[in-house]
Structure 1
Amino acid sequence: MLRLTSLLYAVVGTTLAGIAIVAAVTMNMYDFQSIIWAAVIGGVAALPVSWMIAKKLKEL
């Protein structure tokens, strides 16, 4: 399941990081540090999401 999770993380991580960056820019946070933090938070949030998606896919 770790292999499936890592494959899903490649997609889910970039998606959530991108969503977090767009949210930061929407809130007028154009500085470098805010954008980096948004990407990191999105990437970290993608770990449990990827794990849950992989778990659901394994149950099918």
Structure 2
Amino acid sequence: MTRLAGILFSIISTSLMGIGIIIALVSGNDTLNPILIAAAIGFVVAIPVTWIVSKKIVDQL
């Protein structure tokens, strides 16, 4: 499960970080700090999301 979680994390984290950056830019925050904060939040949120998704995939097998 660890290898699966690592592969999924690379996909899920970049997706959530990108969503956060787009939200920051659309809301008018176009300086460095809000963009970095949005990316960091996406990175942190990706950890439990990856764990849940990988657990559900392994349980299905």
TM-score range, shorter chain: over 0.9
Summarize the alignment of residues 1-60 of structure 1 with structure 2, pairs less than 5 Å apart.
1-60=1-60
State the number of aligned residues: 60
2-structure distance, mates of 1:24, 1:2 = 32
Residue 53 of structure 2: SS of its match in structure 1?
Answer: helix
Structure 1-normalised TM-score? 0.96
Q: Deviations over 1:18-41 (max 9, x none)?
A: 000000001100000110010000
Shift of 1:44: 0.5
Counterpart AA for 1:34: P
Shift of 1:6: 1.0
Structure 2-normalised TM-score? 0.95
Q: What percentage of aligned pairs have identical amino acids?
A: 37
Counterpart AA for 2:40: V
1-structure distance, mates of 2:48, 2:15 = 14
Unaligned runs of 5+ in 1: none
